[in-house]
């Protein structure tokens, strides 16, 4: 993903992209977003959804996004919820936290499914191409990719 878009994401969701010491994570220090810019909207929507889930839950515990990447053609969005355990005092806390985590994972898997029909290059509707490298592209981006491949 290009730097400008990546930065926009980390700045829009400082709680999700914070480091463990509370600072906003710098893309130079982490892996950044290891996927194409076409998935920007998808990731942006997912982050907004997660923020809403956290804000509407009783616990208000923020997961940490640790890695965002493309794997086998689809989006992978990894979070940490390890800080949550310290905040859970009662059984009700644990139930509330479990319910929140489940909702978050539902959102993540929805976004991951969506990525399989979203061009990783430009964000238009696309499909999964099983070439030497499995990827999701729209017709136009795939044609460009094929052409480059021939020229190689």
Binding-site ranges for Zn ion (CB under 5 A): 119, 121-122, 124, 138, 141
**Sign of the CA dihedral with 6 first, then 124, 78, and 48 last:** positive
Looking at beta carbons only, is 95 or 124 nearer to Zn ion?
124
Q: Which structure tokens are listed for 20?
A: 């463990």
d(CA 127, CA 115): 9
Buried b or exposed e, range 115-152, using 16+ CB within 10 angstroms: beebbbbebeebeeeeeeeebbbbeebbeeeeeeeeee
Residue placing its CB nearer to Zn ion in the complex, 47 or 142: 142
Beta carbon of residue 123, minimum distance to Zn ion (angstroms, whole number): 7
Q: How far is the CB of 110 from Zn ion (least distance, A)?
A: 21
Q: Which is nearer to Zn ion, 80 or 139 (CB)?
A: 139
Cβ atoms of 17 and 7 closer than 8 Å: no
Q: How far is the CB of 65 from Zn ion (least distance, A)?
A: 25
For the bound state, the minimum distance from the C-beta of residue 140 to Zn ion, rounded and expressed in Å, comes to 6
Report the residue number, 88 or 122, with the smaller CB distance to Zn ion: 122
Tokens 């696309």 belong to which residue? Answer: 126
């Amino acid at each position: 993903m290009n730097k400008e878009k990546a930065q926009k994401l980390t700045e829009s969701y400082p709680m999700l992209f914070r480091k463990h010491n509370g600072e906003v994570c710098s893309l130079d220090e982490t892996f950044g977003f290891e996927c194409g810019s076409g998935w920007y909207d998808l990731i942006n929507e997912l982050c907004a959804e997660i923020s809403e889930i956290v804000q509407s839950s009783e616990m208000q515990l923020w997961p940490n996004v640790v890695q965002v990447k493309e794997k086998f053609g689809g989006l992978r969005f990894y979070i940490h919820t390890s800080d949550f355990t310290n905040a859970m005092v009662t059984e009700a806390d644990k139930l509330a936290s479990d319910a929140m985590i489940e909702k978050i994972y539902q959102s993540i898997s929805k976004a991951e499914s969506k990525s399989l029909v979203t061009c990783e290059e430009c964000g238009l509707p696309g499909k999964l191409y099983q070439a030497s490298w499995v990827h999701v592209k729209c017709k136009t981006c795939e044609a460009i990719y094929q052409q480059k491949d021939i020229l190689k």
